[in-house]
A and B are shown apart, each in its own frame.
Chain A
């Protein structure tokens, strides 16, 4: 019988074991520390300092956070960005994920032709650069030379057109929908893969039990891919609260009109690097980044404790 690993390591000289561990774990730990742990810790550390006009830094404890959440000059844009971010996330949850699930369900229908084609086409936008997507949609929706108004006119719905990206009331939702359009392929692919895992015989059993495709989807397939859906939700949450690039490429760092599309990412950017008349403030920016980190951490913890523990994975 081969010796078990724990036996072998127990008999090894300490120095040799340490050397082995260093050899196998060292590179990964080093890279992870350098690029993930160190920046995180450094950012958190920086958020407890402030700097005067000469550039010297002083330790101020949690004062930056007090300013950020307590001083109306800071807290108003912060809560505005946070609220917008929640809306951004809600649109993804309510539009992107249901559509992703529905598309996955359609793709997994038996006897569908051109499956590979549809799959590729719907995944294509995900592979495009966000900058290109933002720019294209900016052009499409432009009231001056965009094709959207012409296209609506062509089908007799010209009166519905509005400069959606320019209106305070609709800019955020429009941007969210552009993001949904781009990334709907990801939930679709993940859920499609999970659906393929469901054994054929189980579906056959449901058909013998008298269920049609629709009911099979709702009563059998959907409950069985719930773990994947919850995973997709948490990925959406993290991605949305870290989002920045689409807003920046469509609306710029000012996230107009009148900060209607400002989310935590753009708020952080302006704070840290400065923008137009606003001076960059790395220590305050670090405080924003730290708060963002804790918001995501809190969301993940809620997910782990409230959702993950209740969702059951099924082995087939």
Chain B
């Protein structure tokens, strides 16, 4: 159990910069999830924490100790790989004890740890089997077991569930959450899957092109994305964006207008007349109505019915599409004219640089 601190971490391969000045503080016992588009450097960051890749610059501290030059096994970490990476020529028990043998753990202690991990992960019956005789989910549990017996200060997971089918992914996700509750250890977890990120994380780190875009609790990221990238990345389907301009500013209120939506007043003091903005509203926050703080009109072009909700693709007056999630049994029909409204607090405004404009609605 330990905290993890990353300072000014850089990684370059020749001329390409893969990680650019990454700073991150992870508390003891925290479950941190790294998300971001493919190739943004999540695995690279994780491998650098593990010590599998060296840094081009910056520091990594685990439990207050600088580990830059330490080998992976000396850092007090354990890693679970996407492909499980079980040793194919060893049975489950040997897979779990193999590493312990080389770090000087006495046999009795090894057996105790394996027994405990096996009990926790329901592996008792599988201990004598070989990886080839296990299902994907069982292999995943063995891989986690191999990490647990190391009793690491920090667990590192690199997309551990991406090779499992949908149902197994959900149940293993719950298991990992339970495990974290039991072990109370620090976890850094990489995933593509937003649902995994939202459900597991104490805090989510959103990365893009080697930089950290935002760090925050799942709901903070959802309700108050710090910039356009995070706003578009978190949430599915993605947030709708509308181009806008500041028309006038009066008494702490800015008049926002743009093609495709009705002009509205925004209680923000930082705006000046003529500023270009982007207005963002999530599909699930748009509902049918006549008039509201934010209203947008258009013709329904396509409807996807999922059962619990339907997604309506609506073409605005300026010929752009946006998506609205409509709940209830009455689904919109294509060709229908619709007015969709959103509450003031669900309207996100970003400035020309893509940064969130804070408003009185946020309070």
Residues of chain A whose beta carbon lies under 8 Å from any beta carbon of chain B:
199, 201-202, 204-211, 215, 219-220, 223-224, 312, 314-316
Contact = CB atoms under 8 A, between A and B. Distances in A.
Nearest to A212: B71
B98 A204 contact: no
B279 to A, nearest CB: 44
Contacts of A206: 87
A205 B81 contact: yes
B50 interface: yes
Nearest to B87: A220
A145 B88 CA distance: 55
Contacts of A202: 85, 87
Given A204-B52, A204-B79, A315-B132, A210 B85 contact: no
Interface in B66-89: 71-74, 77-79, 81-83, 85-89
B85 A224 contact: no
Given A204-B81, A207-B72, 12 more contacts: A201-B81, A201-B83, A202-B87, A204-B85, A205-B79, A205-B85, A205-B86, A207-B51, A208-B78, A210-B102, A211-B99, A314-B132
A208 B87 CA distance: 13
B73 A224 contact: no
Nearest to B99: A209
Contacts of A315: 88, 132
A211 B77 contact: no
A202 B89 CA distance: 12
B135 interface: no
Nearest to A315: B132
A95 B89 CA distance: 27
Given A208-B78, A215-B102, A314 B88 contact: yes
A205 B50 CA distance: 10
Interface centre among A199, A211, A316 (most CB of B within 10 A): A211
Nearest to A207: B72
A201 B85 contact: yes
Contact of B102 (A209, A312, A314, A316): A209
A228 to B, nearest CB: 14
26 contacts: A199-B83, A199-B85, A201-B81, A201-B83, A202-B85, A204-B50, A204-B79, A204-B81, A205-B79, A205-B87, A205-B146, A207-B51, A207-B72, A207-B73, A208-B50, A208-B52, A208-B72, A208-B79, A209-B99, A209-B150, A211-B102, A219-B98, A224-B89, A312-B89, A314-B88, A315-B132
Which 5 pairs, one residue from A and one from B, show the smallest C-beta to C-beta distance? Answer: A209-B99, A210-B73, A205-B85, A314-B88, A201-B85
B330 interface: no
Contacts of B16: none
B88 A316 contact: yes
Interface in B113-153: 132, 146, 150
Nearest to A202: B85
B83 A210 contact: no
B78 A201 contact: no
A253 B146 CA distance: 62
Contacts of A205: 79, 81, 85-87, 146
A276 B72 CA distance: 69
B46 to A, nearest CB: 11
Contacts of A220: 87
Nearest to A226: B89
